[in-house]
Amino acid sequence: MKRREFLESMIAAGVMAGSGLEALAGEKKQPNIVWIFSDDHSYQALGAYGSRLAQLDPTPNIDKLAEEGMLFERCYVENSICAPSRATLLTGKFSHLHGKKTNKGGFNYDQQLFPKLLRENGYQTAMIGKIHLSGQPQGFDYWEVLPGQGRYYNPTFRTAQGRTRYKGYTTDIITDRALRWLKQKRDPNNPFMLMLHHKAPHRRWLPAERHMDKYADTHIPEPETLFDDYQTRGTAAHKQDMTIAETMRMQKDLKVNTNRPEAADGQYERRNKYYQEHKDELKGRDLVRWKYQLYMKDYLRCIRALDENVKRVLDYLEESGLAENTVVMYSSDQGFYNGEHGWFDKRFMYEESFRSPLIVRWPGVVKPNSSCDALVQNIDFAQTFLDIADIPIPRNMQGRSIVPLLKGRTPRDWRDYLYYHYYEYPAVHSVRKHEGIAGRRFKLIRFYGKGVPGGEEWEFYDLRKDPREVNNVYGNPEYAAQIEEMKAELKRLKKQYKVSGK
Ligand code: SGN
Ligand code: CA
């Protein structure tokens, strides 16, 4: 029996009550981790990030978590798309090493995964909700996941025992299942890691019935770049297929003029009465503006349910006394365009989809209401979890634990640049393959391969002067030296991260 277990068993047996040794045992206790992960939740639509949407108060409960913890201002992904991001989360490696470069194809669960390491070291692990990786999950004492993308209503879950369908709204049900595990299923004598993964607010946005009318009379502020003309940019920005104007569908996305239940897995009937008829007289920019309002209202309604359900988890941690020794983290698998550049979806290395929210509450360790602007990336999460649990970190993981940052100290040799690589093309939304590096001020992107004239196109942004990324200055001689330096740095990073080929 380990020392901690021994002390706890003594406490449980009443042997040590009042002896003052509880505190000693308590100090040694490894913290629990509750990791709440959403799908496509942009930082713009998270109140604590203070963007134009913050005035709508979209996430009061997640904001409260930020007030009690640390908000990461510069958390990024290495490949802005769902399944690869989740594989990165589990492995602490870049897509080219864990093998899941695109949403297509399987995931090799046999490889080293941080939950397996937690488990081997006495943690109980559970995965509940959306994982979006095919195959039998490994590394979890308990798992209950949505097949593929899952549904917003009456979801089916798969478990080691088979499939079960529940009635209700998926965001609520994922939380119900997670609370059930916390309350009834885990062994209270061991530390745990719960991965609570929401489907919301992924496209096609279906809010809970209770939120259908929310924002009905609210005007959602537009981004400055809603009518971006991509003037200074290359083929990729011009030829993508993710605009509100062209790509967003009246029926399937916005539920306008539809009584075709097959369009969304039979889920439309329940909501037809909430949606207006298409106003045929709207054209051009007016039509885009109108679509933007419908899109954003549904997106924010989905986030509302998410936020309420975060509260349910936080409340339970409080009531049960678990809160004090539990690290709670909130993040999303990537960012999302809320009309910036005229887009929805993600995939690009431009800020809104490259960056994701990250909030961490760790009582007694993280200073409440603090923020950190060090460059953090989703390759860091696996190592961070192991570090929190005080478990040795394998050298082949590619990130770095953020625990020192959580303690308020940025190591001197913390990274200056992030490496990014997106691979899924040709595919839905037609975003060309690209890689690049980003520092605190500059961003260099190389689009390459099929669909890129000449096989290669570069872009370069000065985010200090051009935070909206509308001015590609790649050809500008003023930046020539900086660009050369970043090209060299890109090469160096690729070597460090073992990126081979083009
Ligand atoms: C679906 C969505 C796309 C989205 C991909 C991947 N279309 O195809 O908008 O980019 O999933 O999303 S939908 O009409 O089916 O919703 S991801 O988050 O899983 O990577
Ligand atoms: Ca996603």
- 396-455 tens-digit pLDDT: 999 999 999 999 999 999 999 999 999 999 999 999 999 999 999 999 999 999 999 999
Task: Give Cβ neighbours of residue 230 (< 8 Å, ≥ 6 apart).
Answer: 237, 238, 341
Cα distance between residue 124 and residue 122, in whole Å: 7
* pLDDT score, position 270: 44
**pLDDT at position 255, please?**
81
Are residues 499 and 96 in contact, defined by beta-carbon separation less than 8 angstroms?
Answer: yes
What are 48's two structure tokens? 């604590």
345 lines ligand 1 (CB under 6 A): yes
Question: Given the CA of residue 39, which atom of ligand 1 is nearest to it?
Answer: 18
Q: Is 410 in the pocket of ligand 1 (CB under 6 A)?
A: no
Query: How many angstroms does the Cα of residue 203 sit away from the middle of ligand 1?
Result: 6
Residue whose CA lies nearest to ligand 1 atom number 18:
82
Residue 54: how many other CB atoms lie within 10 Å: 17
Q: pLDDT-derived band of residue 500, with 50, 70 and 90 as boundaries?
A: confident
Mutational test site, ligand 1, from 428, 430, 431, max ligand atoms within 8 Å of CB: 428
Q: Are 116 and 107 in contact (CB under 8 A)?
A: no
Among protein residues, the one with the nearest Cα to ligand 1's atom 4 is: 345
pLDDT for res 264: 45
Among 302, 339, 295, 347, CA closest to 83: 347
Name the helix (H) or strand (E) containing 495. helix 480-496
Mean pLDDT of the chain: 92
- Indicate if ligand 1 lies below 6 Å from the C-beta of 237: no
Pairing label, strands 326-332, 32-38: parallel
In sequence order, the β-bridge partners of residue 310 are none
Judge if the beta carbon of residue 249 lies within 6 A of ligand 1: no
Predicted local confidence at residue 165, as pLDDT = 95
Tell how far CA 10 is from the center of its chain: 41
- Ligand 1 contacts CB of residue 428 (under 6 A): yes
Q: What is the mean pLDDT of residues 73-92?
A: 98
Predicted pLDDT of residue 213: 86
Architecture of domain 419-496 in this structure: 2-Layer Sandwich (3.30)
pLDDT recorded at residue 64 = 98
The reported pLDDT for the residue numbered 262 is: 40
Task: Indicate which residue's Cα is closest to atom 20 of ligand 1.
Answer: 82
Pocket of ligand 1 contains residue 40 by CB under 6 Å = yes
Span 292-303, mean pLDDT?
96
Nearest-ligand number for the alpha carbon of 295: 1
pLDDT value of position 497: 98
**H or E segment at 344?**
none
The first and second tokens of residue 151, run together, are: 């549904």
Ligand nearest, relative to CA of residue 247: 1
Confidence of residue 275 (pLDDT cuts 50, 70, 90): low
Q: Of all residues in the chain, what percent carry a pLDDT higher than 90?
A: 85
Q: What is the pLDDT of residues 176-229, one digit of tens each?
A: 999 999 999 999 999 999 999 999 999 999 999 899 889 989 999 999 999 999
More confident residue, 15 or 402: 402
Q: Quote the tokens at residue 149.
A: 């993308």
3-state secondary structure of 420: strand
At residue 397, what is the residue type?
M
pLDDT digits (tens, 9 = 90+) for 454-492: 999 999 999 999 999 999 999 999 999 999 999 999 999
pTM value is 0.93
Lowest mean pLDDT among 158-162, 278-282, 310-314, 355-359: 278-282
Residue to probe by mutation, ligand 1, list 77, 133, 152, 203, most atoms within 8 Å of CB: 203
Q: How far, CA to CA in Å, does 75 sit from each of 59, 156, 238, 333, 338?
A: 19, 32, 27, 11, 18
**Ligand 1 mutation pick, 149, 248, 255, 302, max ligand atoms within 8 A of CB:** 149
CA of 203 to the centre of ligand 2 (A): 9
What is the whole-number distance in angstroms between the Cα of residue 346 and the centre of ligand 1?
A: 9
Distance between Cα 17 and ligand 2 center (Å)? 49
**Residue range(s) in the chain whose domain bears CATH number 3.40.720.10:** 31-206+295-415
CB of 247 within 6 A of ligand 1: the answer is no
119-159 pLDDT, tens digit each: 999 999 999 999 999 999 999 999 999 999 999 999 999 99
Fold for 31-206+295-415, please state it: Alkaline Phosphatase, subunit A (3.40.720)
Q: What's the pLDDT at 273?
A: 53
| 312 CB near ligand 1 (under 6 Å) | no
Any idea which ligand is nearest the CA of 149?
A: 1
The residue whose C-alpha atom lies closest to atom 7 belonging to ligand 1 is: 203
Measured from the CA of 333, which atom of ligand 1 is nearest?
A: 18
Q: Where in the chain is the domain with CATH 3.30.1120.10?
A: 419-496
Q: Is the CB of 424 under 6 A from ligand 1?
A: no
